Structure formats: structure tokens, C-alpha cells
Amino acid sequence: MTSTHRTLTVLLAVLFAVSAHGSAEAQNHPRLVEVRVDSVVASDTNGGVDVRLGHPMTRRLQGLFNYNTYRLVSHQNNHTKCGDILEFTLPGGRILHVQPRAVDGDMIVMELNLFDGARPMMTTDLKLRNNGILMIGGPRYEQGMLIISIGASSADPGPGSLNDRQVASPLGSRTH
């Protein structure tokens, strides 16, 4: 065996060891996923746009729908590691379960379950681009339609970040 072959063999062994170590690190530190849920009521009551929605959300809503009134009902923000379920309580007794399953490159694999009380309304498996937004609309609420904006973003936890960060209870959420 020549010196070049020996060098290549050693290099490949080192690369394999480094990649295996990195994979083990990744498995020991699953990635955190932050989920943001905004509940908006859209109607034609000439009430204008809630300033709390912010300019980007307002433009997004006006680009998607033709209502003249948008009001932010609740804003919830929580994070968890892949595999756990986040529960969000929505207006009108609806409940949204979000279960991030994995982070595949720039996409976040997740499952969404929407309930009307105890009755399941919708189940979907999807991949949402990091920092992307999915909207679920249609259910009636008060004088309009309920629009649920779901945003997700993954953060590289790094070694020990799960222990360093305050991870909320998977079934807990914060409502404004």
C-alpha cells in the first residue's frame, strides 16, 4: 500500500469518525422547534385592521383574502423538541395540536390536528419551510371566519442548549 493510499484511508476513517460523532451529537441533542400561532377573525364589518397584526401579517392576509376587517384574537408562542406535542387553545373552543417530528434540511416535518372541542376536524402531515407560515381558515367565529396562522422555525440547539433553555411544557401555551 502506498503512502497516498494510507493517507486517504486515514482521512476517510477520520471523516467517518467525525460524521458518526456529529450524528451521535445530533441524536443526543434533538433540535428545538418554535411554533407561533396567531388567531385572527376576518369579517366584513368595516372594522379595519388590528394594528397588533403588524405590517407583514396584514399584507399577507389582505393578499390572501378579501375581508375588510381583521382582528387579532390571540397570539401564542411555544417551542419544543421534535417528537413532543404542543397544544394551543384557539377561540371558539377549538384546539390545535402541533407535533414537530423532524427537521429535514430547511424543512420542518410536522403533524397538525385541529379539534372542535373533542371532535377532530382536520389532520394533516406536512413539511413547512423553516420560518414559513401555514394558514388554516374557514371555521366560523363571532361575525366572521377564524383564520389560524401557524409559523414554525427550527433553531440549532448546540451542545447543552436543551438544558440551558427554558422549554415550556408541551401542553402549555401562552395567550395574549
Partner 1 sequence: MAECSEIGLLLGAFEDAELEPHEMQDVAYHLARCDACTSLLGDYASIGRELRSTVELPSLVGFAQSVQKRIDNLPVPMGRRVGRWFGRLGEQLNSGLAMGTAMAAVAALTVLVLTPYLRRSLSPSLGQALVKAPAVASQQLAAAARDVEAAPAAIAVAANAADSGELASDSHAVISKLEAEMPSVAVWTEPRSDTTVIWLPDQQ
**Choice between 32 and 128, CB closer to partner 1:** 128
CB of 77 to partner 1, least distance (A): 18
Pairing of strands 107-116, 94-104: antiparallel
CB of 165 to partner 1, least distance (A): 25
**Choice between 121 and 167, CB closer to partner 1:** 121
CB of 4 to partner 1, least distance (A): 6
Residues at the interface with partner 1 (CB under 8 A): 4, 8, 12, 15, 59-60, 63-64, 104-105, 107, 114, 119-129, 132-140, 145
**Choice between 46 and 119, CB closer to partner 1:** 119
CB of 10 to partner 1, least distance (A): 13
Closest CA to 36 of 138, 133, 167, 109: 133
**Choice between 32 and 42, CB closer to partner 1:** 42
**Choice between 86 and 114, CB closer to partner 1:** 114
Q: What is the 3-state secondary structure (H, E, C) of the chain?
A: CCHHHHHHHHHHHHHHHHHHHHHHHHHHCCCEEEEEEEEEEEECCCCEECHHHHHHHHHHHHHHCCCCEEEEEEEEEEEEECCCCEEEECHHHEEEEEEEEEEECCEEEEEEEEEECCEEEEEEEEEEECCEEEEEEEEEECCEEEEEEEEEEEECCCCCHHHHCCCCCCCCCCCC
CB of 107 to partner 1, least distance (A): 7
